[in-house]
Amino acid sequence: MGTLRSFPEGLVKNCYTFGHVTQGSKNLLRASFYYGNYDRRNAPPTFDLLLDADKWATVDTADSPVFFELVYTAKRDGISVCLAQTSKDQIPFINTLEIRGLDSGMYSHISSEYVLSNSLRLAFGANCEV
């Protein structure tokens, strides 16, 4: 994660919109954040991550890289991912934001009312990075 985009303009929300997504489609979304003292302030910010205007997570970048990943069924055409400032001196930023359309048969046993969220990923027995 060698690059990032910050949003110092003072807007409460800064959004990315994926207009190519169709209603009812399943999508994998990943967002990653690594402060790394890019602004030389030694003050890792905390802010909210929103998905279609609903709170997805609170991003706290104090210790190490932070990753969020979920499978989401689009409620309408287009998906919006926003970074929301929660305090005036906390400037949101993002390193990566990915969206991948999934085959409609994947996770077919899960209702579209639910979001699948990855909370932890472990590699047992791997002798190299997976």
Cα dihedral 49/55/61/62 (nearest 10): 160
pLDDT tens digits, one per residue of 44-75: 999 999 999 899 999 998 778 999 999 999 99
Structural domains of the chain sorted by starting position, each given as residue range(s) with its CATH number in brackets:
5-102 (2.60.120.40)
Sequence-ordered list of residues with C-beta below 8 angstroms from that of 88, at least 6 positions apart, any chain: none
Indicate the pTM of the whole model.
Answer: 0.85
**Please, which pLDDT band fits residue 4 given cuts at 50, 70 and 90?**
confident
